[in-house]
């Protein structure tokens, strides 16, 4: 459904929908679906690890407050998208403003030769990974 609905919503400027807001709405909706029957995958996982004396019906009843909280958050995000879009609008890390990638190593790995014509680099402070299996 997302490949069908997302391009339509994101293409219409009058819809006032951003990709971040749509992604958060879909994520919260999916998280809620993991707790609700008939599919409730999280409930099936819980049923598999719970002791035998814990009944499935009591699990369903115990999940109700969490489902209600997630639906409340879904409504808050739906009616105030500024909460979701605040941080992405403040961060402007585009290709023109991002720092260039560092091609030079910051330390010399054990056993590595230093390139000719460069100043000596300090050895790496992290321990070298050992092979656990022969």
SS3 for 47-79, per residue?
HHHCCCCCCHHHHHHHHHHHHHHHHHHHHHHHH
pLDDT of residue 28: 92
Query: Could you tell me the pLDDT band of residue 128, with boundaries at 50, 70 and 90?
Result: low
| pLDDT for the residue numbered 115 | 62
For the chain, domain boundaries: 2-87
pLDDT in tens, 24-37: 999 999 888 888 87
- CA gap 19, 21 in Å, rounded: 6
Q: Tens digit of pLDDT for each residue in 51-96?
A: 989 898 888 888 899 999 999 999 999 998 888 888 777 766 665 6
Report the distance separating Cα 107 and Cα 88, nearest Å. 34
Which of 66 and 109 is assigned the larger pLDDT?
66
pLDDT for the residue 48: 87
**What residues have CB less than 8 Å from 124, skipping those under 6 apart?**
107, 108, 109, 110
Average pLDDT, whole number, for the chain?
77
- C-alpha neighbours within 13 Å on the C-beta side of residue 106: 5
Residue 98 has what pLDDT? 64
Report the percentage of the chain scoring pLDDT > 70: 66
| CA–CA gap between residue 131 and residue 53 (Å, rounded) | 45
pLDDT, average across residues 92-101 = 63
What is the greatest pairwise CA distance in the chain? 72
CA–CA dist 23, 17 (Å, integer): 10
Token pair, residue 114, equals: 């230093």
């Amino acid at each position: 459904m997302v490949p069908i609905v997302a391009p339509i919503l994101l293409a219409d400027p009058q819809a006032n929908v951003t990709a971040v807001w749509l992604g958060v709405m879909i994520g919260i909706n999916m998280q809620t679906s993991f707790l609700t029957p008939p599919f409730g995958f999280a409930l099936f996982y819980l049923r598999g690890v719970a002791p035998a004396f814990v009944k499935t019906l009591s699990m369903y009843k115990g999940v109700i407050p969490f489902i209600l909280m997630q639906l409340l958050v879904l409504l808050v995000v739906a009616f105030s998208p500024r909460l979701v879009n605040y941080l992405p609008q403040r961060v402007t890390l585009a290709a023109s403003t991002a720092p260039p990638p560092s091609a030079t190593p910051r330390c010399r790995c054990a056993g590595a030769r230093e390139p000719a014509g460069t100043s000596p680099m300090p050895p790496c402070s992290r321990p070298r990974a050992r092979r656990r299996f022969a």
